[in-house]
Structures are given as structure tokens and as C-alpha cells.
A and B are shown apart, each in its own frame.
Chain A
Amino acid sequence: MSSNPSLIESLNPTADPSVDFRARLGEVDESMRKPAMLFLVSAVFWLLAGSAFAMIAAIKSTNPDFLGLTEWLTFGRVRTAHLNAMIFGWGNNVIFAVAPWIMGRLCKARIRHTNILLIAGIFWNIAVTIGIFGILRGDMVGVEWLEMPAYVTPFVIITYALVGVWVVIAFRWRQSEHVYVSQWYILAAFFWLPWLYTIAQVMLIFEPATGVVQSLTNWWFAHNVLGLWLTPIALATAYYLIPKVLGRPIHSYYLSVIGFWALALFYNWAGVHHLIGGPVPAWVISAGTVASVMMVIPVIVTAINHHLTVVGCHKEGWASPTIRFVVFGAINYTVVSLFGSAMALRGVNEVTHFTHYTVGHAHHGVYGFFTMIMFGAVYYMMPRLLFREWRNAFLIKVHWWMCGMGIILMVAALQIGGWFQGLQMNELSEDGTAVYTFLQVVENTKPWLWLRSLSGLMLVVGHFAFAINVFWMIFSPRTQDQVTQPTLLTPTTEEA
């Protein structure tokens, strides 16, 4: 673009080369609007439902008589309904909205035949609803992360396949010359998950393996849902949104290549750390520990890459809801992964295994990292899909502070309480007897679990603020003429 256009040129709308680019992106947004909104609205409903299950379970953990007469809400079932609602209801729905959209934008190609995605979305949500119902009713399968009854499985596989195929098609017919790191992560995630799920279903439910091979398969599957599905999608989102909002390129292409392949290689083997000290061959436990520690490599590489992209822009970044949530999530990726590597070391694991420390770690990753990044993605995406802006910046701030502070409190409470729990469980007196009775240890965890319930309440408040803003935007009449800039959280004098 010349710095001194002539008057005639300045009147020509097509003289600006970025117009074509922006028109293409607009086409992508337009094509994704219906399916993405279906997935996003579903995601918000599941977030609220999952939060309700969570609060019931959290209260029961200190007050077991709460709703104690109702079989459908017994702790073992309502806790499991919470996990499945959050992973399959909130997590997968928001992924099915965000990932194809990011892939479409990076491929600069509109997604076609989006009615198929709509059908997939309807099937998905029916399946998860039936699945959660089944869990509460008592049809739960006793395999962690695979509890939804078998009658739901075909729908799950079909939906994954449909959305995944669409992502691959978008990539195959991309109009962009360069391929960006987010596209690798999204492709990889959509390849990995259907295989993980199918193998796990076959080897655990349809033709169960013998003995502890079940446990090994279980934790290979479940940890890889975290490491090879939630993590790559969240990283893809962070890698896309941080440079996009800040208007700066990612610091290093080569670091992102190293990060991608190191994650692919090491994360795959890390799942065995759930079985440290267990009745499985010692060599496979060692392999899991080694892989868990080696994860430090891709994690630090990614942290350096993101940090050097953001450095110097903090003040501008603070104004953007997207940047607040995404960078918080990205920082927590580093922290939760380093904690995770430490937890795989035998000496640490001896204390933390079987305690609330692990629960804290799980929430740190799925919420502090994945969910916060997804919140940031929704704050960026919805205005571009609907041509509207967020109606209320105060609600965004409530969301930010409640959820940011809430998850920090939750992780701290569970990990401090869990650490003490582990130490007390193991402590022996001089004559070799346990110092604390089991009930004493339980009693000592209660204040920390009470704090966890409090933190959960903060998250619920944040989720309501988020949901209100989402529905407000959807149902508000078009206000395009009143909007001059994105909804920001601090006043700025420059146009964003």
C-alpha cells in the first residue's frame, strides 16, 4: 500500500489489499455463524449445568447428608455427572465452535455444507444429555472418563468424525500459502481423539482387556484426552489469539515446531503417572515418569514463545478481555505442567497420590488453562460472528475477577489441603505405627474442602456473568451503528 495514495486511488475500495483479506475472513465468519453459535450456546448451558453438579458434589464432600436421601444425586454419581458435563458438554462444544472457526480463518476458506456441522451438534448434545442422565440413573460404566453408558457411544464417535472430517477438509482445500502452528495442533487433536476414544471403548468396554492392562489403557486414554485433545486445542487458540489481538507475530516459528513435536512425543507416554506405585510393571511406570518430566521441554518452549510475543504490550493487552483470559490461561499452562512434572517424581507422588492435591491439579489444567483460554476465544469470536459487541463491560470484569480469583483459590485450597492430607496419611511414629487415624486425616481436610466450595461459588458467579452477557448479545437488537470499537475493559484513547 503506497503511503501517499492519489485522490482517485483513495476512492477505489479495492485498492486496499487488506480489503480482500478481510472480506475472506468475513466469509469464514459468516459460514461458521450458525454451527458455531449452536455449539457455543450449548457449551454455555453445559457450563452452568456442570457448575450445578459441581456445587452439589462440593457441598456433599464436607456435608455428606446434603441431599443424602436422593439416589440420583449420590456423591459418586453427581461428581461423575460434573466431570462428564464439563468435558463432553462444555469442553467439546466450545471446541467444536472454536477449532473449525480458527482453522477456517487460517485457511482463508469458508466452511461449506455447514448443515452437517449443525446436525453433528444436535446429535452431540442429545448424546451427552442421555449420557449424563444415564450416569445419574445408575447406568454408569466404572471406567474413569468413559462413564457415559454404551448406548451413547455411537453418537459420540459419529459427531467427532463429522467435525473432524470438516476440519481436515478445510485444511486440505486451504487458500493460504503458509501453514501456521495452530493448524498443526488442531489437525493433530482431531486425528488423535477419535482413535483414543475408539481404542478405549473397544479395549475397556466392548472386549475388555485382562487385568491391569485395563488400567493402563484407561490412563493412556484419559490422560491423553487432556494432553492430546484439550491441550492442543487450547494452545492452538492461544497461538492464534495472542498475536491477532496484539497485532504482533509470534516470536519464533522454530520454537513452535519444537514445541509441537515434543508435545506429541512426550505427552503420549505421560498417562502412566496415574499408576505410580500400582500393580503394573515397573518399567512402564518409569517410562511414564520420564515422559512427564520431559514435558518440561515443550512447555518451556511454548512459554518462551508466548512471553516474548506479549512482552512490552502488557498495558494494551490488559484492556482486552480476550488477552486477559488467554494470557492467564497460557501462564497457567506453564505452571500446571511444571507442577505435573513434579508430581510424577516418586518422592512427590508418594505424598500427593490419592489426595485432593490431584483434584486441584486436574482443575488447574482443565479450568485454569483450557477453560480460561476458551473464555477468551468466545469473547473474541462472538462479536465477529454476530456483528455485535459485548453489551456490558462490567459483567466481563465480574467474570474475569470471579473466575480468575476463584480458580486460584480452588487450586491453592486443594493443593495445600491435599499436601497435608498426603503427609498425614504417610506419617509414622517411631514404633512404625500411623500417627493419624484415617478419620483424623478426613477431619483435617474439611476446612480446605470448605474453601474449595467457596471458590466454586465464585466460579458460579463468574459463569452467570458470562452467560448473561452471551444471551444479552444474542437477543439484543442490532446496534451496529452505535458501536465504534470493541468492548474493552480499560479506557483507551486509540482505536483498537
Chain B
Amino acid sequence: MKSLPLIFLGVFFTLAFSWTGIVLTTHIQMKDLTPATAELVNDKGEPIGGPTYLAEGETFLGSNTEGETAYPLRLVGEAQRGKKVYEQMGCLYCHSQQVRRKGFGADYERGWGSRQSVARDYIEQDRVMLGTMRTGPDLTNVGVRYSELWQFQHLYNPQITSPGSTMPPYPFLFEVQKVSEMRGPSVEAIAMPEAYQPDEGYEVVPTQRAKDLVAYLMNLNQEYELPEMKFTEE
């Protein structure tokens, strides 16, 4: 096989073939996805169940139900900034953000989600971080599992909430400051067991980055239904 043009053509074709199939085709398939309410309605306002594609075309049957929220929602403000902190700390490398269906792994039984994740759940995310490792638990719905206080404690030192955890501590996202003699402890000070408390007269407060990150984590929530995916039945 000696011909440079022939080799080039074959090499080009194989790459173009896979890109077209894996990337372009799925893009075409999913480009019309918009946020949706749990049920769609037809033009008379009657609810429709079942598939959201017309038999021949790709446009959606019906529209969203009036008065209900269409999901997914876009992140704003603190939570949006917090996502950047998540990205820059490399949280992606130990945590996934995708719930598998009941029966394929134990995602459902571990309480990680009331339903599997679908493509529509990610259309409003500027950076999709599905993740490929579960050194730590899946975080798709972590916003409904823990309180803000738990998140702050866990980030400051995972051993506080999860003894034996291998998650790294993030003390640099917090500040240890002197308790104000004038006003007393700060409202933002993180309560924690005595073994982890700083010296007498000092308190641990989150920096803006920690607050943003926790805001992001509290927003991680796919506990809403979509036309194509309802909550798993028992």
C-alpha cells in the first residue's frame, strides 16, 4: 500500500465517519431539545403522555403546561460561580453526575436519584461534567440529600461528616479568624465537633469560593419529571 493520497483518503474517511456518527448525528438528534414541564399539552390544552416526537419529523408534539415550571433550569449567580470552583478543584475526577436506570447498578437503591438522567437534563449547562469515576458518590441530586451546614463541614474536613473518607480536605476554602469581641461569633461561622474546632477564641468562616461552591452543590437536583422520563416505579 504505497499511495499517499489513498492512505490519506482512508484515514480521513474513518475519522469523518466516526465524527459524523458519534457527534454530528447526535447533535442533530438533540438540537431541538428545550426545557419541558412534566407533561406536555396539545393545542387544545389537553395533556399528552408518551413520546415527544412526531412520527415523521423531529418537532415536539404539544407544548409545556401553563403555570408549571419547565426543567432543567439554568444556573445563576453564586451557583454559577460555584460551578467554576468545582471545575477548578477537579471534583469531576472523583464524582459523577449521571444517574443510571434502576436495574443497571444500584444508583436507585443508594438514593442517588428517583429516575435515570436523560439528555434533556444537561441542555442548560455550559460545561457538562458527567464524570467517569465514583471514588466519591454520584452528585446529580446531592442538593436534596444534605444541608448547607453538612456541605460546609464536609468540605472543610470530610472526616467530620464521613469518618474514613478519602476525600481531600479543603481548608484553603475557609478562613480561621478571631471571634469578634464586639459582635461575638459570626453568623457564617461553621459549627463543628470539638475535635475539629480551631483554637479558643477563633472560628471557621467560609470564603466566597466556599459559599459559591456550596450554592452550586445545593442546586444539583434532577428530582423533577420530564415527558420522556418519570420517576421510577417501585
Interface residues of A (CB under 8 A from B): 60-62, 64-65, 68-71, 74-77, 79-80, 138-144, 168, 171-172, 178-179, 184, 187-188, 191-192, 195-196, 199, 203, 208-217, 220, 224, 228, 257, 260-261, 264-265, 268-269, 271-272, 274-275, 277-281, 284, 287-288, 346, 350, 353-356, 358-359, 425-428, 432-434, 438-439, 442-443, 446, 449
CB distance from A133 to the nearest CB of B (A): 14
**B10 & A277 in contact (Cβ 8 Å cutoff):** no
CB < 8 Å neighbour of B1 from A77, A179, A269: A179
Q: Which residue of A lies closest to B23 (CB)?
A: A217
Residues of A within 8 A of B168 (CB): 60, 64, 68, 74-76
Residues of B within 8 A of A168 (CB): 4
Residues of B within 8 A of A427 (CB): 106
Residues of B within 8 A of A70 (CB): 172
Question: Given A68-B169, A179-B1, A442-B164, are A213 and B26 neighbors across the interface (CB < 8 Å)?
Answer: yes
Question: Given A220-B23, A275-B130, A281-B119, are A69 and B31 neighbors across the interface (CB < 8 Å)?
Answer: no
Does any Cβ of A come within 8 Å of B92's Cβ?
A: yes
**B105 & A350 in contact (Cβ 8 Å cutoff):** yes
Interface segment, one of B41-49, B110-118, B146-154, B184-192: B110-118
**B4 & A171 in contact (Cβ 8 Å cutoff):** yes
Residues of B within 8 A of A350 (CB): 104-105
Does any Cβ of A come within 8 Å of B60's Cβ?
A: no
**B18 & A76 in contact (Cβ 8 Å cutoff):** no
Question: Given A69-B171, A213-B27, A213-B30, are A191 and B2 neighbors across the interface (CB < 8 Å)?
Answer: no
Does any Cβ of A come within 8 Å of B50's Cβ?
A: no
**B11 & A187 in contact (Cβ 8 Å cutoff):** yes
**A279 & B127 in contact (Cβ 8 Å cutoff):** no
Does any Cβ of A come within 8 Å of B55's Cβ?
A: no
A187 vs B3: C-alpha distance in the bound complex, in angstroms? 12
CB distance from B193 to the nearest CB of A (A): 17
**B170 & A188 in contact (Cβ 8 Å cutoff):** no
A346 vs B118: C-alpha distance in the bound complex, in angstroms? 18
Interface residues of B (CB under 8 A from A): 1-2, 4, 7-8, 10-12, 14-15, 17-19, 21-23, 25-27, 29-31, 33, 86-94, 96, 98, 100-101, 104-106, 109-110, 116-123, 125-135, 137, 158, 162-172
CB < 8 Å neighbour of B12 from A172, A191, A272: A191
Q: Which residue of A lies closest to B170 (CB)?
A: A74
**B15 & A144 in contact (Cβ 8 Å cutoff):** no
Interface secondary structure of A, over-half rule:
helix
**A438 & B109 in contact (Cβ 8 Å cutoff):** no
Q: Which residue of B lies closest to A188 (CB)?
A: B11
Give the number of A-B contacts (CB < 8 Å): 216
A274 vs B131: C-alpha distance in the bound complex, in angstroms? 10
Other 11 A-B pairs with CB < 8 A, given A277-B104, A426-B105, A439-B162: A68-B169, A69-B171, A142-B88, A142-B129, A209-B27, A210-B30, A268-B14, A269-B18, A278-B117, A356-B135, A358-B132
Residues of A within 8 A of B167 (CB): 64
- Please list 27 pairs of residues, one from A and one from B, whose beta carbons are closer than 8 Å in the complex, sorted by A's number: A64-B167, A69-B171, A74-B90, A74-B168, A77-B89, A79-B90, A80-B90, A139-B88, A140-B87, A142-B86, A142-B127, A143-B127, A178-B2, A191-B8, A191-B15, A203-B23, A211-B33, A211-B128, A214-B127, A215-B130, A224-B18, A260-B1, A264-B11, A278-B98, A350-B105, A433-B109, A442-B166
**A438 & B18 in contact (Cβ 8 Å cutoff):** no
Interface core residue of B29, B121, B128, B170 (most chain A CB under 10 Å)? B128
**B169 & A277 in contact (Cβ 8 Å cutoff):** no
**A212 & B166 in contact (Cβ 8 Å cutoff):** no
Question: Given A76-B92, A277-B104, A428-B109, are A284 and B130 neighbors across the interface (CB < 8 Å)?
Answer: no
Residues of B within 8 A of A446 (CB): 166
**B19 & A199 in contact (Cβ 8 Å cutoff):** yes
**B117 & A279 in contact (Cβ 8 Å cutoff):** yes
Interface core residue of A75, A79, A275, A279 (most chain B CB under 10 Å)? A279
CB < 8 Å neighbour of A442 from B23, B89, B165, B170: B165
**B170 & A439 in contact (Cβ 8 Å cutoff):** no
A443 vs B135: C-alpha distance in the bound complex, in angstroms? 11
A134 vs B117: C-alpha distance in the bound complex, in angstroms? 33
CB distance from A325 to the nearest CB of B (A): 28
CB < 8 Å neighbour of A61 from B10, B25, B87, B166: B166
CB distance from B8 to the nearest CB of A (A): 7
Interface core residue of B89, B120, B169 (most chain A CB under 10 Å)? B89
